[in-house]
């Protein structure tokens, strides 16, 4: 991922330095496990732990000779250990190191990603609670429907964000698996006891049947759920973008002092942050597709997944982390124009109370179809002519309790339970 969209903590997880450090953790744990099994000298494990070292530059230079990244790394580390360096990578195949070390990197990436996911959820919760009673118009098909509250709208986004926290956490949990079962997973070159010792040291579980690699269905779950989380961010971003349109102007993204909205039109304040989230969510869906295609490898393995994963796993986690942070800043800092929300509620001159009028007429004894026609005719007349729907309805149905029909509080009555749930999540 380009540096523009990479936050430092997540970028560090996917640095070349950190990747090789994870490789070294696996190699050292394996050497020590062999020593504990009595297969290699005890001193080999001790010497490896004390002396093993590398530099990214040295590994890169060696790879120009070997044309194999793991072999280059092993050469550099073995040389740093000295005589007992020959036991580094003993019995292992490259994927033993690569896949197990990848699990370590993904665990770290998960900690960062879940942190920003929770921050986004919590920011939405705070704003939802703040605006639990802020009336605004609800829209279906982009058209005014019925009154709702801005807090309820944000509550829906907050609970979706909470579901994404759960989904992402589960995805990372089922990726905490490593393997040291050799070239095609038969344990011919490394026994299960060594694998068990290594996974215990690293805090990972053993893959039951790994062939030469960890099955890629595990990784596709992560890229798919990252795409789903991105879709949730896009849904929030799309709502903000729509509410920021000049004709609506109920919500605006934060606009910093000194910020320029347009190079040509100084009056512009464009929703650039939410548009950026929208665009990046499309990228995440592409990564999810690639993750799914990585599942089907030839026989015990090929490396068609390898080059793709070197792109999609770092980039997907980096991008989602960035997007969640950006969305958190939007949620926290957005301007909510409650006065404009009230103005927009009146654009249909009360026609958005049509369903309450319909049910009131049905309750009065009128057939549903007759009631529908009365309400439809007068509601459309109110909207088209600018006449108050309440006045028109008073003439069409003089016996109706209009105070009960035109009651904004009716849209608030059943909401406390939802906000109690948000309070519990916040706690």
Within this chain, do residues 77 and 99 fall inside the same structural domain, yes or no? no
Which pLDDT band, with edges at 50, 70 and 90, does 262 fall under? low
Residue 147 sits at φ, ψ, to 5 deg, of -65, 150
Within this chain, do residues 63 and 171 fall inside the same structural domain, yes or no? no
Total count of domains within the chain: 3
Structure tokens at 298: 């030839």
In a domain, 22, yes or no: yes
Confidence check: pLDDT of 197 > 70: yes
Domain of 391, in residue numbers: 342-426
Within this chain, do residues 277 and 129 fall inside the same structural domain, yes or no? yes
34-82: per-residue pLDDT in tens? 999 999 999 999 999 999 999 999 999 999 999 999 999 999 999 999 9
Residue where the block lists tokens 């709502």: 239
270-282: per-residue pLDDT in tens? 888 999 999 999 9
Check if 141 is active-site. yes
Within this chain, do residues 84 and 105 fall inside the same structural domain, yes or no? no
Within this chain, do residues 291 and 156 fall inside the same structural domain, yes or no? yes
d(CA 217, CA 347): 51
Within this chain, do residues 146 and 69 fall inside the same structural domain, yes or no? no
Confidence check: pLDDT of 256 > 80: no
Which pLDDT band, with edges at 50, 70 and 90, does 266 fall under? confident
In a domain, 258, yes or no: no
Within this chain, do residues 278 and 369 fall inside the same structural domain, yes or no? no
Within this chain, do residues 333 and 350 fall inside the same structural domain, yes or no? no
114-163: per-residue pLDDT in tens? 999 999 999 999 999 999 999 999 999 999 999 999 999 999 999 999 99
Q: Which of 15, 68, 262, 364 is catalytic?
A: 262
Could you tell me the pTM of the whole model? 0.94
Q: Which of 141, 267, 299, 414 is catalytic?
A: 141
Contact 234/58 with Cβ under 8 angstroms? Answer: no
Indicate the average pLDDT of the chain: 95
- Buried b vs exposed e over 92-107: b needs ≥16 C-beta within 10 Å? bbbbbbbbbbbbbbbb
In a domain, 82, yes or no: yes
The percentage of the chain sitting over the pLDDT mark of 70, rounded to a whole number, equals 99
| CATH assignment at residue 361 | 1.10.40.30
d(CA 364, CA 402): 13
Within this chain, do residues 225 and 120 fall inside the same structural domain, yes or no? yes
Pairing of strands 251-252, 205-206: unpaired
Confidence check: pLDDT of 16 > 90: yes
| CATH assignment at residue 219 | 1.20.200.10
Within this chain, do residues 327 and 211 fall inside the same structural domain, yes or no? yes
Domain end position, chosen among 298, 322, 337: 337
Rounded to an integer, the average pLDDT of 88-114 is 97
Rounded to an integer, the average pLDDT of 1-29 is 96
Q: How many CB atoms lie within 10 A of CB 2?
A: 8
pLDDT of residue 264: 73
Domain end position, chosen among 47, 65, 90: 90
Confidence check: pLDDT of 255 > 90: no
Within this chain, do residues 172 and 275 fall inside the same structural domain, yes or no? yes
Pairing of strands 205-206, 177-178: parallel
Torsion-angle region of residue 147: left (phi > 0), alpha (psi -120 to 50) or beta?
A: beta
Check if 80 is active-site. no
Confidence check: pLDDT of 265 > 80: no
Within this chain, do residues 107 and 216 fall inside the same structural domain, yes or no? yes
d(CA 129, CA 25): 46
């Amino acid at each position: 991922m380009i540096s523009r969209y990479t936050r430092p903590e997540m970028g560090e997880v996917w640095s070349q330095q950190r990747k090789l450090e994870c490789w070294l953790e696996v190699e050292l744990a394996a050497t020590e496990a062999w020593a504990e099994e009595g297969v290699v000298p005890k001193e080999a494990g001790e010497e490896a732990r004390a002396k093993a070292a590398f530099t990214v530059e040295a590994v890169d230079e060696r790879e120009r000779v070997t044309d194999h990244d793991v072999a280059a790394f092993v050469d550099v580390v073995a040389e740093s250990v000295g005589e007992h360096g020959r036991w580094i990578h003993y019995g292992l195949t490259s994927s033993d190191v690569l896949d197990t070390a990848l699990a370590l990197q993904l665990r770290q990436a998960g900690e960062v990603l879940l942190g920003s996911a929770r921050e986004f959820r919590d920011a939405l919760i705070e704003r939802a609670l703040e605006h639990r009673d802020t009336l605004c118009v609800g829209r279906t098909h982009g058209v005014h429907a019925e009154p709702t509250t801005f807090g309820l709208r944000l509550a829906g986004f907050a609970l979706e964000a909470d579901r994404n926290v759960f989904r992402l956490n589960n995805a990372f949990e089922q990726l905490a698996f490593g393997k040291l079962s050799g070239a095609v997973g038969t344990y011919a070159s490394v026994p299960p006891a060594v694998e068990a010792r290594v996974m215990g040291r690293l805090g990972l579980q053993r893959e039951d049947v790994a062939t030469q690699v960890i099955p890629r269905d595990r990784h596709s779950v992560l890229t798919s759920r990252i795409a789903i989380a991105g879709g949730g961010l896009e849904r929030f971003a799309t709502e903000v973008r729509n509410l920021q349109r000049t004709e609506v102007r109920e919500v605006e993204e934060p606009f910093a002092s000194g910020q320029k909205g347009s190079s040509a039109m100084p009056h512009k304040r464009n929703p650039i942050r939410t548009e950026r989230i929208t665009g990046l969510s499309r990228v995440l869906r592409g990564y999810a597709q690639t993750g799914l295609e990585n599942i089907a490898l030839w026989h015990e393995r090929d490396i068609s997944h390898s080059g793709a994963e070197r792109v999609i796993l770092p980039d997907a986690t980096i991008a989602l982390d960035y997007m969640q942070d950006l969305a958190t800043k939007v949620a926290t800092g957005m301007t909510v124009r409650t006065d404009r929300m009230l103005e927009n509620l009146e654009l249909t001159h009360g026609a958005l109370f049509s369903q309450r009028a319909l049910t009131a007429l049905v309750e009065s004894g009128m057939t549903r179809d007759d009631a529908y026609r009365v309400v439809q005719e007068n509601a459309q007349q109110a909207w088209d002519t600018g006449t108050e729907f309440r006045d028109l309805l008073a003439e069409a149905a003089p016996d109706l309790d209009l105070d009960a029909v035109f009651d904004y509080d009716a849209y608030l009555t059943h909401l406390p339970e939802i906000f109690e749930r948000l309070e519990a999540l916040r706690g």
